Amino acid sequence: MTRFLFFAAILIVFPTHSQQLKSPSEFLGYELGTEFTRHHEVVDYYEYLAEAAPDRVKLTVYGQTNERRPLLLAYVSSPDNIANLETIRQEHLMSTQGNGNSTKAIVWLSYNVHGNESVSTEASMKTIYELLTTKGSYLENTVVIMDPCVNPDGRDRYSNWYNQYKNTPHQVDPNSKEHNEGWWNGRSNHYMFDLNRDWAWLTQVESQQRIKMFNDWLPHVHVDFHEQGVDNPYYFAPAAEPYHEVITNFQRDFQVILGKNHAKYFDANGWFYFTKEVFDLFYPSYGDTFPIYNGSIGMTYEQGGSGRAGLGIITGIGDTLTLKDRIAHHFTTGLSTVEVSSQNAKKLNEEFKKFYQNQNFKYKSYVLKGNKDNLDALKSLLEKHEIQFGDLSSGSYKGHAYGSGSNGSMSVDKNGMVVSTNQPKGTLVQVLFEPSAKLTDSLTYDITAWSLPYAYGLEAIASTSLVTPQSNGDAVSKSMINPNSYAYLTDWNSLKDAKFLAELLKEGIRVRKTDHPFSIDGKSFERGTLIITKGDNTHDPNFVQKLQSIADTFQKEIVSTGTGFVDSGKDFGSSYVQMITEPKIAVLSGGPTSTLRFGEIWHFFEQQLHYPLTVIDDEYAKRVDLGKYNILILPDGRYGNYFDEDQLSELKDWVRKGGKIIAMGGAINAIDGEKGFGIKVKEKEKETEQINTPLPYEDAEREQIKDAITGAIFKTKVDNTHPLAYGYGLDYFTLKLGSSSYDYLDGGNAVYIEDSTKPFSGFAGSKAQKKISKSLVYGSEQFGKGHVIYMVDNPLFRGFWENGKLFFANALFMIN
Ligand SMILES: [Zn+2]
């Protein structure tokens, strides 16, 4: 009865809206689930709702994708709440300071982060429509923030592809083309990055723009809608172990409350589902964990389907799975999430406040020092996360020393910084900075180590006492170039330096580099120092102005010198001071390469280094004249015997004449010892363990993990006299993603693992640890006039291992 009165009241106050609001099917002109809706049509529908029901829907364009599609957020709530949205937001954020009396539940629903998991955006339209029509009661105390499509470029790539290849009517036989997307699939964004691995690293424009909105709201509940394989039933919370230890009991328990509510609806419909398996809560860069480390109940929901499912497909057990089914399931969990959140708004607010009051951190401060460019890069990431930090200019600090993996001390004289956990984002600080995250179960979905001091190549101490920042007084001084100098010198030790060099080369400025340390005018310079002489650049009358302007852009300090006669080392006219060859780069895509690994290279060139590359697809690669290029990059992938004998001998000829191959990960197998070049796969360690008791069948998965390295950090040795390692110190922390290993090269080992192979952070199985002992990480081999550069580990992995990027730049610019 009360329920009847409630709805009656709504109808009286807002007689027009519910009656006139068009459903997605009415608006789009086809029944939802019978077509894939293109992104612009989705935008149209959301815009229509915001116009038709402005008192309950507020739409914001928060950014744009690489392919210029708009990124949208729709705020959906009661008229009262929409009218007071900014007040509600501010009141809610006061909870992070322990203040305020916030009462509204904030629920954020993110759809279609993986573009070809394409049901999500369709389901979002049904969900918003029902919230506005039949489920208005949830919105009295709840603000629902909907991102209808986190990855519009990927989703349209899938939808357009599907529309081009689908049968009419659609064919449910999985062998038909419409179910087999191929290499350039819609999962990732424009640059083939997985946006559901990017929440913490923010390498992609979608993530960078979204994080601002996310930090503006810090929702109580965040759902990331996904799809898994066609034969899987639905997955929803609670998640699988391992859980990161910072996850609170409430965050655990509330997932169960939500899961049980979803189960009620699924049970009533006879739908299948599973919980507590596969999808764990550890790696911080997901759409479930990242919100959790920011105080939310973060969850992943997985429908069976994805890019293979199309409008309908026969499953392994002979059922037909349709897009309509998939919409019904995501729609159900979406509404059920809002329902439970609305019922528990009070509790959510209390617990959210408590989360931000947590001061129970083992380490109170992380003290860092090192290369200023790397520190700046880290600061820029922290700013995006609204994590506070301060400078340090002196002092000695004790605690866990990252370099040794044990207790120690570190003194700071300049270029120091401190990040402490006594701030609203303290939990996130712990997760991102702690030397090693506690792993309760080694069977996990993703990498097990990411600690930022290692990723940014900084010396660091984790201190159990609070360290107060000091003012650094380190103002950036603009360095004025003396126009009458003989040469201009600048150091080489960061990605920023590589960007600077790339810009000089693009501007036609000729640059040399030194292969020997030298000193001049009382200053000393390391290997890799860039030497820009006037004599090399007489072709350009504006040379000095150009150099000055590029140096200003990159805030590069330039030392001018009036002579090429050094105090020690090699003079600038020496053969040890060589001209840097302008790279003409070709990268292989498609075929044997991995889309993600290719994408990392593509993104590195265009969005980080800002240097052009030619993408050569597998389909026609064998017809391309390599003579036009001097660098060929073979991204990681599954090559097998990709190159036949003729192609290998052509490749060798090209290298002999001066070409340079950069072979990454699995690409090394395509050209290794047996097939062409000098590198050799490490002989498999002899099985020393005698099997005494046969292993129970159910333990097979756990036994296999002994061979695995699930993304762990290892300390390696560096030969920084090797051009591949210019700008580095004598050791380097590498992120190892697997146990593939190669013997040391006869010469040219730039980075390698010695005997001690326990990871400093993350998981590595016992057999895998043995296997990578005495193995190559980065090295090069001279072959005729050319070189082959081997990258066993991936310095560009997900774009976040900042300190590895200089190896890649060295491979491009320093080896010749
Ligand atoms: Zn997914």
- pLDDT band of residue 572 (cuts 50, 70, 90) is very high
Distance 232 CA to ligand 1 centre (A): 13
Q: What is the pLDDT of residues 694-734, one digit of tens each?
A: 777 777 777 778 888 989 999 999 999 999 999 999 999 99
pLDDT value at 11 more than 50: no
Q: What is the pLDDT of residues 78-134, one digit of tens each?
A: 999 999 999 999 999 999 999 999 999 999 999 999 999 999 999 999 999 999 999
Phi, psi of 379, rounded to the nearest 5 degrees: -60, -40
DSSP 419-458: EESSSTTHHHHHHHHSSS---S-S--SS-S---HHHHTT-
Distance 192 CA to ligand 1 centre (A): 14
Residue 673 host element (H or E): none
Phi, psi of 610, rounded to the nearest 5 degrees: 60, 60
Distance 58 CA to ligand 1 centre (A): 27
Distance 395 CA to ligand 1 centre (A): 47
Mean pLDDT of 357-382: 96
- Give the rounded distance of the alpha carbon of 441 from its chain centre: 23
Phi, psi of 27, rounded to the nearest 5 degrees: -70, -45
Q: How are beta strands 297-304 and 221-228 bridged, if at all? A: parallel
Distance 109 CA to ligand 1 centre (A): 14
Write down the mean pLDDT value for the chain: 94
Among 4-8, 219-223, 329-333, the range scoring the smallest mean pLDDT is: 4-8
Residue 19: its pLDDT value, please?
57
The Cα 632–Cα 671 span in angstroms is 13
pLDDT value at 657 more than 80: yes
Tokens of 234: 């639905």
| Share of residues in the chain with pLDDT > 90 (%) | 88
pLDDT value at 13 more than 50: no
* CA dihedral sign, ordered 716, 719, 720, 722: negative
Among 478-482, 632-636, 645-649, the range scoring the smallest mean pLDDT is: 478-482
Report cis status (omega within 30 of 0) of the bond before 238.
yes
| Share of residues in the chain with pLDDT > 70 (%) | 95
- pLDDT band of residue 211 (cuts 50, 70, 90) is very high
Q: What is the pLDDT of residues 168-194, one digit of tens each?
A: 999 999 999 999 999 999 999 999 999
Mean pLDDT of 602-622: 97
Residues in the chain: 816
Distance 148 CA to ligand 1 centre (A): 15
Distance 113 CA to ligand 1 centre (A): 7
pLDDT value at 368 more than 70: yes
Distance 684 CA to ligand 1 centre (A): 35
Residue 476: its pLDDT value, please?
61
Q: What is the pLDDT of residues 406-465, one digit of tens each?
A: 999 999 988 899 999 999 999 999 999 999 998 877 677 789 999 999 999 999 999 999
Q: Which amino acid is at 737?
A: L
DSSP 360-412: --S--EEEEES-HHHHHHHHHHHHHTT---EEE-S-EEEEEETTTTEEEEEE-
- pLDDT band of residue 479 (cuts 50, 70, 90) is confident
Residue 212: its pLDDT value, please?
98
Among 413-417, 492-496, 585-589, the range scoring the smallest mean pLDDT is: 413-417
Distance 278 CA to ligand 1 centre (A): 13
Task: Return the C-alpha torsion angle 268, 270, 274, 275, nearest 10.
Answer: 0
Q: DSSP assignment, residue 608?
A: I
Distance 226 CA to ligand 1 centre (A): 4
Q: Whole-model pTM?
A: 0.95
Does residue 791 contact residue 664 with C-beta atoms inside 8 Å?
A: yes
Better-predicted residue by pLDDT, 681 or 13: 681
Distance 117 CA to ligand 1 centre (A): 6
Going through 153-243 in order, the beta strands assigned E by DSSP cover 221-228, 234-235, 240-243
- Give the rounded distance of the alpha carbon of 394 from its chain centre: 34
pLDDT value at 16 more than 90: no
